[in-house]
Structure 1
Amino acid sequence: MTDVTENRPRWHGVLERIAEARRGDSSESLAAVFMLGATVLALAWANSPWGATYDAFWHTHLAISFGGMSIDLDLQHWVNDGLMALFFFVVGLEVKREFALGELRDRSKAAVPLTAAVAGLALPAVLFLLLNPSGPEAAAWGVVISTDTAFLLGALAVIGPGRAERLRIFLLTLAVADDIGALAIIALVYTDELNIVPLLVAVAGLLLIWQLRRLRVWRGGGYLVVSVVTWVALYESGVHATLAGVLIALLLPVYPPKRKEVERAAALARAFRQSPNPEYARSARLGLERAVSVNERLMRLWQPYSAFIIVPVFALANAGVPLTAETLRTAATSPLTWGIVIGLVAGKFVGITGATAILHRLRPGSLAPGLTMPQIAGGAALSGIGFTISLFIVDLALDDDALADQARVGVLAASLIALGLGALVFRAGRSSLPEEPSRDLLRPVDVHRDHVRGPVDAPLTIVEYGDFECPFCGKATGNIRQVREHFGDEMRYVFRHFPLEEFHPHARDAAEVAEAAARQGRFWEVHDRFFANADALEHEDLLRYCEELGLDVDRIEEDLRDGGPHNHVADDEIDAGSSDLPGTPTFYLAAGDAVPQRHLGPYDAKTLIAELERMRAEAAVADDEAADAAGVSDPGDVVDPR
């Protein structure tokens, strides 16, 4: 668990390039393909004429001794207890990052997926225990609680709907909460006995890691040594050793890069450029590493290994079930097998969909914009793919080989059924969608969230999705100024972000700095200054403009580091992508209480004014007709619905 990047294998670069594939969520798809391939290979090996060698190989013992202490495990348990500690370490890093900077940072946004995750943990366990209330089979109830995140996201990328970023974020948040619940259950339920002295050593190791963090030790060597000792101690204590990975990951710091560290790294890189030598090269490399948090460096280092080596090796070691006629016949009538299938498939589907629907009904608007119940139902169906942690808990819960094989058959069957169910639900959802994307504004104007220029209750509304580096958006600001002058206090103007980084490399940084400035109540001043200097938006330029406007630049840097501005811009960008916006600027117009509609065609001031006048006239006619229908003789007596 070190962050040392030098001298690592050359093929790590191949894994990184695979993991960095972005479009179409191909990274998740490839990870799922690797895991599926390993599963198929395990099944083929176990059911081939050489099937006996499968068990013989994975039950080969390997002992590591140090002085009077020795750990003697077969290869399968070295994978399950050793390699999987690294898998859970990466899971822990992701959990920590989500709580510090991601979706779980905003508890209000995370409320729905967290509630759905709890229901998706509880209902499967209840259904399983209804079929297996007692006996050794009952101990396997933990098999049905967890969703395989890699398979889930891979399947979503392949069979899910287009423009499903909101659904992906929902499911990722749910899966993180799901992982937390599964890890807690492994720690509390599947620990047979405790040895106090090794447990105290493990606790001391964790405290030492926490102290290293307090001392701001950022190199990985010290963490690595203490982590190995902690893993061994936890293994000897009786607590499952994989939990060491999670606990260590949760202690490591995560934060956005500090500006001073970035500038220091840049200075060291310039020094190396001016005088290339090994000492300057080492200093520049260390400066770059120090500028990034330990969490993110370790995640970048270990995530490719976890996705493309560790998890596939785990599948190869655990999915090899001999699918003989006797095994399948026994599984077909086994309450254990059916409990797993019903728990994962029906429990996840009903629990997640039902909890989300109930919360959505109780709290209208609790779902993210563009996220629909048919999409939730499709994601809930795919959540029944409980492969990795399910097989992991099979190994913990069942000592009887025959029962373990029945459970593995159940996990494999449930995963296939969940995949097919998800495909059917998504197909049904797509068939109910209109052929053309809606022109309605996806996220309603929220005066507490949005940046509004003009009276917040003005009867006319313009919403713009723009990009500070876009020359067309810069020209459009003049058009909007004319429209505002024409309508005065009758119009409100809302600006949202849609940074097109592919064409405008500084647009996202400018948007995030503007959001940080908004925390000081100065968004519109910064907005105008950035558009006036759209050809000079380097980070130093952005901060200089803020300083010239009298903003607290140090506070802007701190606000940028806490992730809030980034998340705000990302939300706007996802809304724009989900609405299939063609580019920037894009305008939505509305009069009265009508939902703003996307404006098609020219956006010069004359055209926008004419369109708003037309909408206002139509709204007035609609008000008159409503007054006539209500039997009110004087339209002025009609109460304004706003």
Structure 2
Amino acid sequence: MEEHVGTTPVDYVKSTARNFANREKIGGLLLIIATLVAVGIMNSPLAEGYEHFWKEKYVIANEDFGINRSLHHWINDGLMVIFFFVVGLELKREFLVGELADKKNATLPVIAAIGGMLTPALIYVLFNAGGEHLKGWGVPMATDIAYSLGIIALLGKRVPMPLKVFLTALAIVDDIGAILVIALFYSSDISWISLGIGGGLMVVLFALNLLGVRSIAVYIIIGIALWVAFLMSGVHATLAGVLLALAIPVKVKMGTKVFKQKTEEKLKELEERDLEHKSALKDKKQLDIVNEIRDYTKKSRSPLLRLENSLSGFNAFFIIPVFALANAGVAFESGWTEVFTDAAGHGIMIGLILGKFLGVFGFSWIGIKLGFGQLPKGANWGAMAGIGLLAGIGFTMSLFITNLAFDGGEIIDVAKISILLASFTAAILGLIVLSISLRKKSINS
């Protein structure tokens, strides 16, 4: 985003939220393309080379001492940390200065997200109780932000903004829940020394925040050390991204009132210069004034918002599509239809399609009836049903948890195919229901 002197910090907050929504829509379309490319390659003669490419190992330090990971692991344990870091920043912004700062607006998506996590997990357990793949209960729990917003974007301005915010908030809370599930249930061989170092670094980060340190570079450097500590601890490294986001300062060095006063003083000084005959290249004083205004602008903007604004595009346009390329590739070989008879396949597909719908829609209905929230402005119950179905698009996080829940073999392919089929079905059904309900509302109004 370009920096303009006349832009106030409040405008910057609104712009950050708007840019996030726009980027996620385009990112969703890129994600769809990346998924189709990955699936296409895995069902072509290039499949063997494709798999070998992602398994190639890259080492920091050396083989005996350092971090030795395949490209696939670098993406899932490295790039995805940035993804979760941005998710953490988005969630923190929404609860502090966004739509969710209003308690009444924040409560309903949280309730819906909880229902949308518990119900699919329960359905999976019902199908797999006592089976060898019970550990996959976390696979159908999460909603994919990029995909769901990319799909809802196809309906354009017919979708009320509060309904989009509801879906975004639900998906973000959902992802945070998935992160906690990963940390608590899909981490193994805990190194308490490394975990202790990570805890110490978190104390340092929060102390810096309280002391008023606003240098982004300081937080990023310590954040990298935090990531290494979690990577070595056995607790999944992606948790480091969310924890770092929580420590990033929101408060600015210079408030809006002071920013306005100082900027006006500098603009007055600038007007007194010979602007008609001398440019900033010839008049050093002009250049000094412009640089000072730029410094004031930087100080008036929250470190959290600056980071979110700078990373959201990278997250949506690069990290998520690359993740899809590395993880979505699955071969539809003879016998792939076993997903329709496999208990794990049943749990994932029914969990994502029916479980997500029942959880999101049902818990939203209960929450509103009990007075904990209200329907998003401009929405009706039909639209909420459509959102409940779209929440069944579990792609990114579902694939991520699949790699953690299962040790390998055919079950990985079964899970991936189930996720793809369920997400596609949920997207189509959600789009149809949402389109019909919004059309009816438009006719009635």
CA drift of 1:158 comes to 0.8
Structure 2 CA distance, aligned partners of 1:279 and 1:401? Answer: 64
What CA deviation, in whole Å up to 9, does each residue of 1:490-543 have, x standing for no partner?
A: xxxxxxxxxxxxxxxxxxxxxxxxxxxxxxxxxxxxxxxxxxxxxxxxxxxxxx
Partner of 1:138: 134
Q: Could you tell me which of 307, 310, 313 is aligned with 2:319?
A: 310
Deviation string for 1:326-370 (max 9, x for gaps)? 3x1332321111211100110011111112222333439832443
Report the Cα distance in structure 1 between the residues aligned to 2:395 and 2:22, rounded to whole angstroms: 20
Deviations 1:207-230 (A, max 9, x none): 222222223222222112111111
User: Residue by residue, what CA displacement relative to the aligned partner does 1:206-262 show, whole Å, maximum 9, x if unpaired?
Assistant: 122222222322222211211111110111111111111100001112247712245
Question: Using the alignment, how far apart are the partners of 1:246 and 1:407 within structure 2?
Answer: 26
Aligned to 2:369: 361
Letter in 1 for 2:338: T
Task: Report the alpha carbon displacement of residue 60 of structure 1 after superposing the two structures with TM.
Answer: 0.2
Task: Report the Cα offset of residue 432 of structure 1.
Answer: 3.6
Corresponding residue SS for 1:73? strand
Whole-Å Cα distance in 2 between the matches of residues 58 and 224 of structure 1?
27
Deviations, residues 277-326 of structure 1 (Å, cap 9, x unaligned): 47666544333222111100000111100000001000000001111123
**Which residue type is aligned with residue 255 of structure 2?**
K
In the alignment, is the contact (CA less than 8 A) between 1:199 and 1:237 conserved in 2?
A: yes
Unpaired runs of 5+ in structure 2? 4-14, 274-279
Per the alignment, do residues 161 and 338 of structure 1 end up closer, same or farther by CA in structure 2, a change over 3 Å counting?
farther
Match of 2:200 among 204, 213, 219: 204
Q: Which amino acid aligns with 2:58?
A: L
CA contact (8 A) 2:81 2:241 kept: yes
Distance 1:63 1:370 in 2: 53
In structure 2, the CA distance between the partners of 1:80 and 1:136, relative to structure 1 (3 Å rule), is farther
Please state whether the residue corresponding to 2:375 is helix, strand or coil.
coil
CA contact (8 A) 1:79 1:314 kept: yes
Residue of structure 1 equivalent to 2:294: 285
Match of 1:170 among 166, 171, 187: 166
CA spacing shift, 1:135–1:284, aligned 2, 3 Å: farther
Give the aligned partner of residue 121 of structure 2: 125
TM-score (structure 2 length as normaliser): 0.87
- In the alignment, the residues of structure 2 paired with residue 261 and residue 136 of structure 1 have an alpha-carbon distance, to the nearest angstrom, of 61
Per mean C-alpha deviation after superposition, the further-off stretch among 29-38 and 61-70 is: 61-70
1:373 corresponds to 2:381: yes
| Of 395, 403, 410, the match for 2:403 | 395
Matched residue, 1:340: 348
Taking the aligned partners of 2:339 and 2:30, their CA distance within structure 1 comes to: 27
CA distance in 2, matches of 1:417, 1:324: 21
Deviation at 1:371, TM superposition (A): 2.5
What does the per-residue CA deviation read over 1:105-138, in whole Å, with 9 as the maximum and x for residues that have no partner? 2223322222111111100000011111134411
Structure 1 Cα separation of the partners of residues 326 and 227 of structure 2: 21
Aligned residue-pair number: 419
The two structures have a TM-score, normalised by structure 1, of 0.61
Q: Confirm whether residue 417 of structure 1 aligns to residue 425 of structure 2.
A: yes
**Which residue of structure 2 aligns with residue 578 of structure 1?**
none
2:277 maps to none
Residue 48 of structure 2 is aligned to residue 64 of structure 1: no
67-76 or 136-145, larger mean C-alpha shift: 67-76
Aligned 1:510-529 pairs, distance under 5 A:
none
Mapped to 2, the partners of 1:272 and 1:56 lie a distance apart of 61
Does the CA-based 8 Å contact 2:16-2:309 persist in structure 1? no
1:294-305 mapped onto 2 (5 Å cutoff): 294-305=303-314
Contact 1:262–1:291 (CA under 8 A) maintained in structure 2:
no
Q: Which residue of 2 aligns with 1:258?
A: 255
Q: Per the alignment, do residues 21 and 49 of structure 1 end up closer, same or farther by CA in structure 2, a change over 3 Å counting?
A: farther
Q: Letter of the 1:173 partner, please give it.
A: A
- 1:426, CA displacement in angstroms? 2.0
CA–CA distance in structure 1, aligned partners of residues 22 and 66 of structure 2: 42
Quick check: 100-109 or 333-342, which moved more?
100-109
Is the alpha carbon distance of 1:159 and 1:418 closer, same or farther for their aligned partners in structure 2, counting shifts above 3 Å?
farther
1:86 aligns with one of 64, 82, 89: 82
- Output the CA distance in 1 between the equivalents of 2:264 and 2:132: 61
The answer on whether the counterparts of 1:160 and 1:423 sit within 8 Å (CA) in structure 2 is no
Alpha carbons 1:144, 1:390 under 8 Å: kept = yes
Which deviations, in whole Å up to 9, do the C-alpha atoms of 1:135-158 show, x marking residues without a partner? 441111111111001111111121
The structure that has the greater radius of gyration is 1
CA contact (8 A) 2:124 2:348 kept: yes
Amino acid at match of 1:395: N
The structure-2 alpha-carbon separation of the partners of 1:300 and 1:21, relative to structure 1 and needing over 3 Å to count, comes to: closer
Residue 167 of structure 1 aligns to a residue whose secondary structure is helix
Change (3 A) 1:165 1:188: same
Q: CA-atom RMSD, angstroms?
A: 2.7
The CA deviation at 1:391 is 0.8
Partner residue in 2 for 1:385 = 393
3-state SS, counterpart of residue 320 of structure 1: coil
Whether the 8 Å contact between 2:117 and 2:142 is mirrored in structure 1 is yes
CA contact (8 A) 1:20 1:27 kept: no
Higher relative contact order (CA 8 A, sep 6+): 2
1:2-21 superposed Cα distances (whole Å, 9 cap, x missing partner): xxx9xxxxxxxxxxxxx989
Q: Cα 1:269–1:241, aligned 2, differ >3 Å: closer, same or farther?
A: farther
Q: Which amino acid aligns with 2:321?
A: P
**CA deviation string 1:42-90 (max 9, x = no partner):** 1111111111011100000001017974000000010000000000000
Amino-acid identity (%): 36
- Whichever residue aligns with residue 234 of structure 1, its letter is F
CA shift in 2, pair 1:161/1:375, >3 Å: farther
Flag the 1:272–1:185 CA change in 2: closer, same or farther, 3 A: farther
Q: The residue matched to 2:68 in structure 1 has which SS?
A: strand
Query: Equivalent residue for 2:150?
Result: 154
Once residues 407 and 102 of structure 1 are traced to their aligned partners in structure 2, the CA distance between those partners, rounded to angstroms, is 36
Partner of 2:47: 51
Question: Bigger CA drift: 71-80 or 273-282?
Answer: 273-282
**Structure-2 residue corresponding to 1:227:** 223
The structure-2 alpha-carbon separation of the partners of 1:293 and 1:338, relative to structure 1 and needing over 3 Å to count, comes to same
- Residue identity in the other structure for 2:180: A
Q: Structure 2 CA distance, aligned partners of 1:247 and 1:22?
A: 24
Distance in 1 between residues matched to 2:70 and 2:55, nearest whole Å? 5
Q: Which deviations, in whole Å up to 9, do the C-alpha atoms of 1:588-624 show, x marking residues without a partner?
A: xxxxxxxxxxxxxxxxxxxxxxxxxxxxxxxxxxxxx
C-alpha distance in structure 1 between counterparts of 2:186 and 2:266, whole Å: 50
